[in-house]
A = this chain, B = another copy of it.
């Protein structure tokens, strides 16, 4: 190892203490870093809450459709079943993630062990975002096809309510996709720094 004098001679300055600590896996987090992580977690929580609202609203709209006895039902169509299933899954998942987020913000530690939590969040965000988009696209195509048939002429309200449910699902997908970007960021921070703290 070179002596400190040799390092200075070569024009290097010794790294100040916080810099070295920030890149060590077992480090003491500075107050700034903790505050930034907290703000990051609050943003994640907001996205989770919004995604939960949209996907649960979409599920409910699809589920209570329709009220008439002679009207077709959502479970008569595969694509609408897919839409309801995907939205229900995302609703439950968002609920769990909201709880995990609140736990982390209030206690400062993750609900699951840190490495498990960051990979769990990212993996599920990715898969469920793709799942939700796939369901909504299939639902949209079926709704479009149905519009040209007698089903929608006879049961206009049924078709409109399906379209609203699908639109709400698309909004849910948007916020789940944003969450997946943030949880992806956390995973890479974890890979590079060995910690979800990115500073």
Contacts and interface: CB of A to CB of B under 8 A. Distances in A.
Copies of the protein in its oligomer: 2
Contacts of A198: 192
Interface string A171-193: 00000010001001100110111
Contacts of A181: 184
Contact of A145 (B12, B137, B142): B142
A139 B136 CA distance: 12
A69 interface: no
A78 to B, nearest CB: 7
Contacts of A64: none
Interface residues of A, number: 40
Contact of A133 (B13, B137, B140): B137
Contacts of A67: none
A4 B4 contact: yes
A12 to B, nearest CB: 7
Interface in A137-194: 137-142, 144-145, 177, 181, 184-185, 188-189, 191-193
Given A15-B20, A130-B177, 12 more contacts: A1-B13, A1-B14, A2-B16, A4-B7, A7-B14, A134-B136, A135-B137, A137-B137, A141-B145, A181-B184, A188-B188, A188-B189
